[in-house]
Every structure is written in structure tokens, then in C-alpha cells.
Amino acid sequence: MKHLAIIPGDGIGKEVIDVGMEVLDAVSEISSFDYDGELFDIGSERYLGTGELLTDEDISSLKKKDAIYFGAIGDPRVKPGILEQGILLKMRAVFDQYINLRPVTSWFPLVPLKREVPFDIHFLRENTEDFYMGAGGTFGGSRKNACVKVRREMYDLEMELKTKSSNNDDFAFEIGLLSRKGITRFADYAFNYAKSRGESDITLVDKANVCTHIYGLQRTIFEEKAEEYGMGLKFMFVDAMAMAMIVRPETFGTVAVPNLFGDILTDLGAQIQGGLGMGGSGNINPKGVSMFEPIHGSAPDIAGQKKANPIAAVLAAQMLLENQGYPEEGMMLHKSVRYCLDNGLTTPDLGGKLTTDEVGKAVCRYILNQKT
Ligand code: IPM
Ligand code: MG
């Protein structure tokens, strides 16, 4: 019996997670997978009522779960950043979910690209470091040394900028930080992941021609790891990668990408595979509590209208099942999505006429029919 935390969150998060749970129920009817789901009221409503985001109590309850199934957060009544940082980013940090797995698969015939060549890119986005840490952090030696060094760099930068300007300018800057520990575990995960998919190399995306410090260190460690695993390593600058994803997506398999560039490239990836409604996302701590979510947001403009495409939530449930040791059941969900697309059983964003719930029912029907 798996113990799942269910966090529908805001907007269409509730509608698509309802479908996701029906789908998990259908899976449990026909397989050895079994679960209980505890609902957590985390999101904008509670925040607006009590001011609470992700509380210590939430965290200690979530810690006891096998995995978290998450809908979406975001509400036009709340200033941007508050819910994202206080809930989603905090969750990733507290549970140290250092890998963000985002598959980009061509769901033919949805692919908006002119070249109809199938592709299956698996993005592994580093999920805890880079420009997502807030300013400051630690590197080499003690925390104190790190802080002194950061301050010195800030001072030099400020002096340089001041001498260039006669005005009393304002300055703002953000620190992107990568640690040896963070890069090493990221690289280990990426090479093992590619190996498990039968691939002989991985691609590492960066901007090492500009941000030479952080991405230089990352390259060095990935090179060491490539040798250790006896695997190939290709480098791509992020701007070139954005182009390559459009002109030759079929040439990529496992792609490791730092946090901020990964955020951007995986939205591009969602579009080339058929839209945000088709992207599942796993925030993974291989030894801890992982969280699975559709990559889309709360879409307040269509919330409550039963128009939301639940497929991304179904694909997130697929990842959850695989992560929890049920790969065959996960594959069944993948095939159920194929079945819906092949039969035009889709929501309006994919040209269909069905509601969120009706797509859910079609997925469940497919699963129940797999009973042997
Ligand atoms: C994502 C989202 C988040 C991110 C936001 C909501 C903080 O865009 O999951 O990709 O930047 O990671
Ligand atoms: Mg994003």
C-alpha cells in the first residue's frame, strides 16, 4: 500500500488531480498497485485565509508519505512569486528533490513542427541550485569564507560600475551557484538514467562561454563522470539548444540542464510535444519523497470550466507509478494517452470536444479494459 499526499492546489489543479485520482483508482482495480491518498489543503485559498504557505506541520506530515501528487498553484489575487516561492520552490528545497525529470515526446500528430520525425528527449533539470537559490550560499571551504568572497565580488562589481557612471545608480544582482556536491549527484543521476535507457551518451546544456565559473565547474565534473561511467558527453550552449530542439529534436536522448535554462527549455519542449497540457514533471529525490505534477500552471482563465486538458496530470501519474516501482502500470497510462489521441478523445486545446472529466473517463475505460 502506497501512501500518497494529494495537493490539488489552485485553479485547474483541482480538476486535473480529480481525474488523476480516478485514473490511479482504475489502475489499483486491475493491478497490484494500491494506495491511500491524503488530501492537503495547500494553495492560495488557505494563504488568503490564514497567511500560511507550506507550514512545518505540512512538512512533517508530507515527510511520512511515499510520494506527493501535486496539481498547480497560482492565483491572480496573490502577488507573483509568493505562492511559487513559499510552496513549490520550498517543497523542492525542503525535500531536496534535486532532479526535475521532464520527458519531451512527440505525440504525433500533435507535433507542431514541420518535420514529422519522432523524438523522445528526456530532460533532467537540476532542481535545487543555479539561479534558484536566492542570493548567497556556500562554495569551497567554510560558509564564512564563501560569504566573504561573495561580498568581495559584490564590492569589486559595484566599484567597477560606479566608475563607469557619474550618476548614483541603483544596482541589483542575482547569484547563480553550483556546488561540487550538487553537480556530482546531478551527473551521477544523469549518467545512470541514460544507461538505464540504453543510451551511450548524454548532452549537457549550459552557457559556459559566458558564465564561465559555474558552468566551467559543471563541465569539469561531468567530464570526470563521463570517464568514470565510460559514456559519451556532448556539450550544447543553451541558445544553440533552443534552435536544435526545433530543427533536430530526434538527435537528443537524455539532456542534463541547469535549473534556470531547464525551466525555459522544458516549456519549449512542452510546446513541441503538443502544448503545456501534455507535459508531466517529476521532482525527484532518489532517496526521499518525490513530487509529481503537470508542468502547466493553475490557468485561472479556464478554471472551473472543465476545459483543462488532464493528460499532463495523467503523465505525471505515470511518472509517479514508475518512481514507486510500477513501471508496467506506468506504461499503461502512457498507452492510455496514445489511445485518447488516436481516437480524438481530447479537450478543445487539442482540437477535441470532450471535457476534462470525459477525457478522464476515456483513460479509465482504457485501463479497465486491460484487465487480464
Ligand atoms: C516550473 C515553474 C516554476 C519554476 C515556477 C512556478 C516557480 O515554472 O515548474 O517550471 O520556475 O520552476
Ligand atoms: Mg517553468
Give the whole-angstrom CA distance, residue 128 versus residue 138.
13
* Residue nearest (by alpha carbon) to ligand 1 atom 10: 263
For ligand 1, residues with CB inside 6 Å are 84, 88-89, 263
Which is more confidently placed, 117 or 207? 207
Whether the pLDDT of residue 152 is over 60: the answer is: yes
pLDDT at res. 137: 43
Q: What is the mean pLDDT of the chain?
A: 92
pLDDT at res. 49: 97
Q: What is the pTM of this model?
A: 0.91
Give the whole-angstrom CA distance, residue 121 versus residue 254.
6
pLDDT at res. 343: 95
Give the whole-angstrom CA distance, residue 12 versus residue 302.
7
Helices (H), the chain: 12-30, 44-50, 56-63, 82-83, 90-94, 143-163, 180-196, 212-229, 238-247, 259-272, 311-323, 327-342, 356-368
The confidence band for 139, taking pLDDT boundaries of 50, 70 and 90, is very low
Among the bound ligands, the one closest to the CA of 84: 1
Give the whole-angstrom CA distance, residue 304 versus residue 41.
18
* Residue nearest (by alpha carbon) to ligand 1 atom 4: 263
Atom of ligand 1 nearest to the CA of 295: 9
Q: Which residues of 337-368 are buried (b: 16+ CB within 10 A; e: fewer)?
A: bebbbeeebbbebbebebbbebbbbbbbebbe
Q: What is the pLDDT of residues 224-267, one digit of tens each?
A: 999 999 999 999 999 999 999 999 999 999 999 999 999 999 99
The CATH number of the domain covering residues in 1-103+279-372: 3.40.718.10
Whether the pLDDT of residue 199 is over 60: the answer is: yes
Lowest mean pLDDT among 130-134, 178-182, 316-320, 362-366: 130-134
The CATH number of the domain covering residues in 112-133+176-272: 3.40.50
| Side chain identity, residue 367 | I
Q: Are 73 and 43 in contact (CB under 8 A)?
A: yes
Give the whole-angstrom CA distance, residue 181 versus residue 176.
15
Q: Sheet holding 232-237: strands in order across?
A: 35-39, 2-9, 67-72, 290-294, 280-284, 99-105, 120-126, 254-257, 201-206, 232-237
Whether the pLDDT of residue 123 is over 60: the answer is: yes
Rounded to the nearest whole angstrom, what is the distance from the C-alpha of residue 15 to the centroid of ligand 1? Answer: 20
Q: What is the pLDDT of residues 309-366, one digit of tens each?
A: 999 999 999 999 999 999 999 999 999 999 999 999 999 999 999 999 999 999 999 9
pLDDT at res. 146: 67
- Domain boundaries in the chain? 1-103+279-372, 112-133+176-272, 136-174
Atom of ligand 1 nearest to the CA of 267: 10
Whether the pLDDT of residue 138 is over 60: the answer is: no
